[in-house]
Every structure is written in structure tokens, then in C-alpha cells.
């Protein structure tokens, strides 16, 4: 299937995306019943994707004023925002709180903003969540991103900062702690991580005797990766732990999926435009760059398949090593080495799989502008972002 569309471009397969969204909500429904999905904007805030999750009932999980503004621009109300992270603005913090959205406090600064808000709005009930920083590594050795050193988000349980914040909040008139936020990033994304997060919620509940409307498990699930957990694996374990201290009648689960929702459905289609031999190495030049699908330069392998140019009638001898490279002028822009495979030629397509998360949102405007994005539904392809041109690049600027 060689398509005629100009490469490179991303494709989102809508039925696959829908399948993953439904898999998530079905599992939540079945195991807890009371839940809310806050879609992680930072993972991929492509407007079409945001629209898709919104139509399916998700709220916007945002971690900056710009993301908050984007959520508003794309039609979310303040009450449909889950506001996280260390870098909120005071204005948006107040708007979301006053509208009854979900604000998970992350810092001392926010406690001050909240105190000011209470003073300027006497008699108003304000519900807040609080992000706990805790030693997940101890519960899941070797699995977390922060490892033995601490994570840097939220109020630390072990040092007593969490208890201090709770005490301060309890003294603020009209303020109620209605949520716990326990997002932690892990390398393993295992069921055990989420079981431990649920256990931590219970531990905090027992120690502080909260009256919680929600436990926010955060994001960081696996999805669409072979022999790794899928949504239905997580929530039975989470529910088993949470039910020791909470009930679905009083307390909802908030989940903040990002990559797990959009990995499987997203591919990146590139073409080979040149090959060259230099000192015994075959370089295969493609119009996709490592910056498009591995912008943080951490991947050591890619899932991909090759679509051979059907108009090429020459031989394809097996080549020992072919170094698949991007179009940029940086030497590090090499994607992978193709070993002992048929010779690749101009017009072949290399199609990368599982590239939905942390790609489009981290893509630089380096040498080439943002590529087009299509949504596929059956055999229909709809363009949802046109390729950027100088027109988009220069917007809002003067020369
Ligand atoms: C990054 C992040 C997410 C989403 O993480 P994924 O790994 O994309 O699922 C959710 N919540 C918070 C607070 C985050 O920082």
C-alpha cells in the first residue's frame, strides 16, 4: 500500500483510538463505576485529539497557563479542567478553583495564593486536591523514574511537608481537601506501580482521615505495547486496594492517561529520498527526522515496517548495514540501523508505529516545519493539521 500523499505525515487511526478509549472507560466502569478521565495535554495536545477525547467525555489535564488557555480555547470550561503541576498562574488557578474545577496543589506558593483567595472571597467553599510526594521507589524497587533520590513534585510525605500543608489547609475557612493526587512516573508502568499508588492513597486516608471526593492516580499507564499491561490489567488491582478505604459511592477515581491512549493508533509515514555510500557505510536518507518521533533522543529502537516502492523493478540485494537517517543537517539525526535486509531505495516508505505520545508536542521547528497529520477511519483519510509553511511560522512576528 504505497499512498500518494506527500510525506512525511502522522496518521491517527480513529477506530483504534476509540477502542483504547473504550477499553479504558469500560475497565473503570466495571471495577469502580465512579471515575473521571483527565486527558494529559502535554502528551499530545493536537486539537483534533483533544476534540476526540472531549467528545468522549474527558476533561483537560493541564500543567501550565498556556495549556490551560488552550483548553479554554478548545471549549473546556473552568469546571472541566484538572490543573496540575508546579507551574500554574495565579489567575488561572483562581478561575479553576472558583468554578469548581480540579486543582491539585503542588507548592507553598499555591498555599499562599489559596490563602489570598480565601481572604478575598469570604464564605466561599473551595475544594482542593493535594499532590503527595512519596517514596514509591521503596514500594516498587527499581521501577520508578526518580529512583533512590526523591521526586520533585508535590508535598513530601516522609519529611512532614505533606502533613504541614494539610494542617494549614484545614485552618483555612471554607477550604476542604477533597482530593489526593498521586501521579508518579515510572520506568516500568507496571500494575504493581498503580497498586502501590492506591495503597498510598489508603495509607494517607488512614493517617489524615480525609473526606475525599476523588483519588487521582495520574497517568503513566502502558497501552498498545506487546507483552505489557493494558488498561483492563490495572483497575482490578487498583479497585482491590482502594476498596479497603474508599467506596465508589463517595470517591471517584481520576485517571490522567496520555501516551497509553494514543500510542497504538498513531504512525509516522516517511519516504526515502536518497541513498549514499561513504567509506563502506550505506546511508539511507529519509524525509522523517529523529526529531519527529524521538525528540528527546532517548529511544534505542523503533517499531516500524517498510513499504517497498512498487515501481522499483531493480534487484534488492541483502545489505549488511543500512543506516536510516533523517533529513536534518545534524549527524545525530540517525534513527536506526537496518541489518541484513534487502536494499532500500528512493520511494520506499518507512512507517513508524506507536508514535503518538511526546512526539508532536515536543517536535521542534528545525529545518522543516511541522508535518501534516491525518486521521484514518476505514479507508478515508482526513487531514486534521496541514503541514506548516512560512505563513504559520511567521505569525505574530515582524520583519
Ligand atoms: C505526564 C503526566 C501525565 C501523563 O503521563 P503519560 O505517561 O503520558 O500517561 C498525567 N498526569 C501528570 C500529572 C503528568 O505529569
Report the nearest atom of ligand 1 relative to the CA of 218.
11
Query: Could you report the per-residue pLDDT of 223-253, keeping only the tens digit for each?
Result: 999 999 999 999 999 999 999 999 999 999 9
Which whole number is the average pLDDT over 330-344? Answer: 97
Cell reading at 75: 471549549
Q: How confident is the model at residue 209 (pLDDT cuts 50, 70, 90)?
A: very high
Distance 106 CA to ligand 1 centre (A): 15
Tell which one of 102, 180, 256 to mutate to probe ligand 1, the residue whose CB is within 8 A of the most ligand atoms: 256
Q: How confident is the model at residue 2 (pLDDT cuts 50, 70, 90)?
A: very low
Contact 261, 300 (CB under 8 A): no
Tell which one of 59, 183, 194 to mutate to probe ligand 1, the residue whose CB is within 8 A of the most ligand atoms: 183
Contacts of 112 (CB under 8 A, 6+ apart): none
DSSP 27: H
pTM, 2 dp: 0.97
The residue count of the chain comes to 399
Ligand 1 neighbours (beta carbon < 6 A): 40, 42-43, 61, 84, 183, 218-221, 256-260, 357
Contact 125, 158 (CB under 8 A): no
- Work out the burial of residue 228: count CB atoms within 10 Å of its CB; fewer than 13 is exposed, 13-18 middle, 19 or more buried: middle
180: left (phi over 0), alpha (psi -120 to 50) or beta: beta
Contact 108, 131 (CB under 8 A): no
Which whole number is the average pLDDT over 291-307? Answer: 96
Report the nearest atom of ligand 1 relative to the CA of 261.
9
Contact 45, 70 (CB under 8 A): yes
Taking 90 as the threshold, does the pLDDT of residue 148 lie above it? no
Report the nearest atom of ligand 1 relative to the CA of 42.
1
Distance 258 CA to ligand 1 centre (A): 6
Contacts of 17 (CB under 8 A, 6+ apart): 49, 52, 261, 262, 265
Report the nearest atom of ligand 1 relative to the CA of 185.
7
3-state secondary structure of 127: strand
Please state whether beta strands 318-325 and 304-307 pair in parallel, antiparallel, or not at all (unpaired). unpaired
Kindly report the backbone phi and psi dihedral angles of residue 23, in degrees, each rounded to the nearest multiple of 5, phi listed first. -60, -40
Report the nearest atom of ligand 1 relative to the CA of 189.
7
Say yes or no: domain 264-393 is CATH 2.40.37.10: yes
The hierarchical CATH code for the domain 14-260 is 3.20.20.10
Contact 165, 146 (CB under 8 A): no
Task: Give one DSSP letter per residue of 132-166, joined into a string.
Answer: EE--HHHHSTTTBSSTTSPP-SSEETTTTHHHHHH
Taking 60 as the threshold, does the pLDDT of residue 130 lie above it? yes
Which whole number is the average pLDDT over 126-154? Answer: 94
* CA-angle at 289, arms to 283 and 290, nearest 5°: 95
Taking 50 as the threshold, does the pLDDT of residue 35 lie above it? yes
Q: How far apart are CA 101 and CA 38, in angstroms?
A: 11
Domain ranges of the chain: 14-260, 264-393
Amino acid at each position: 500500500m504505497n499512498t500518494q500523499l506527500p510525506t512525511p505525515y502522522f496518521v491517527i487511526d480513529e477506530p483504534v483510538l476509540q477502542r483504547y478509549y473504550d477499553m479504558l472507560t469500560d475497565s473503570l466502569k466495571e471495577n469502580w463505576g465512579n471515575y473521571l478521565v483527565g486527558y494529559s495535554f502535554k502528551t499530545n495536545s493536537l486539537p483534533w485529539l483533544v476534540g476526540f477525547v472531549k467528545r468522549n467525555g474527558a476533561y483537560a489535564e493541564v500543567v501550565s497557563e498556556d495549556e490551560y488557555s488552550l483548553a479554554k480555547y478548545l471549549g473546556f470550561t473552568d469546571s472541566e479542567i484538572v490543573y496540575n503541576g508546579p507551574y500554574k498562574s495565579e489567575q488561572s488557578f483562581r478561575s479553576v478553583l472558583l468554578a469548581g474545577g480540579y486543582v491539585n496543589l503542588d507548592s507553598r506558593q499555591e498555599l499562599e495564593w489559596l490563602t489570598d483567595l480565601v481572604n478575598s472571597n469570604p464564605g466561599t467553599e473551595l475544594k482542593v486536591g493535594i499532590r503527595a510526594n512519596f517514596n514509591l521507589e521503596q514500594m516498587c524497587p527499581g521501577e520508578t523514574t526518580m529512583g533512590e533520590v526523591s521526586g520533585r513534585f508535590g508535598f513530601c510525605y516522609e519529611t512532614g511537608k505533606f502533613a504541614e500543608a494539610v494542617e494549614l489547609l484545614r485552618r483555612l475557612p471554607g477550604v476542604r481537601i477533597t482530593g489526593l493526587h498521586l501521579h508518579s512516573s515510572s520506568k516500568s508502568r507496571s500494575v504493581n506501580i498503580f497498586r502501590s499508588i492506591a495503597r498510598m492513597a489508603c495509607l494517607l486516608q488512614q493517617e489524615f482521615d480525609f473526606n475525599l471526593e476523588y483519588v487521582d492516580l495520574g497517568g503513566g499507564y502502558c497501552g498498545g505495547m506487546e507483552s505489557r499491561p493494558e488498561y483492563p490489567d490495572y483497575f482490578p488491582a487498583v479497585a482491590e486496594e482502594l476498596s479497603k478505604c474508599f467506596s465508589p459511592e463517595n470517591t471517584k477515581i481520576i485517571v490522567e492517561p496520555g501516551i497509553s491512549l494514543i500510542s497504538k493508533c498513531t504512525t509516522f509515514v516517511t519516504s526515502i529520498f536518497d541513498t549514499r555510500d561513504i567509506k563502506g557505510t550505506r546511508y539511507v536518507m529519509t524525509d522523517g527526522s529523529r526529531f519527529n518521533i524521538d525528540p528527546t533522543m532517548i529511544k534505542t529502537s523503533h517499531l516500524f515496517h517498510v513499504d517497498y516502492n512498487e515501481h522499483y523493478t531493480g534487484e534488492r540485494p541483502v545489505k549488511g548495514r543500512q543506516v536510516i537517517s533523517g533529513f536534518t543537517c545534524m549527524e545525530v539525526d540517525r534513527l536506526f540501523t537496518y541489518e541484513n535486509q534487502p536494499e532500500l531505495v528512493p520511494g520506499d516508505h518507512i512507517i513508524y508505529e506507536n508514535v503518538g505520545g511526546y512526539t508532536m508536542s515536543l517536535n521542534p521547528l528545525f529545518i522543516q516545519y511541522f508535518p501534516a497529520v491525518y486521521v484514518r477511519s476505514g479507508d478515508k483519510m482526513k487531514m486534521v493539521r496541514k503541514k506548516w509553511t512560512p505563513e504559520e511560522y511567521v505569525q505574530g512576528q515582524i520583519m
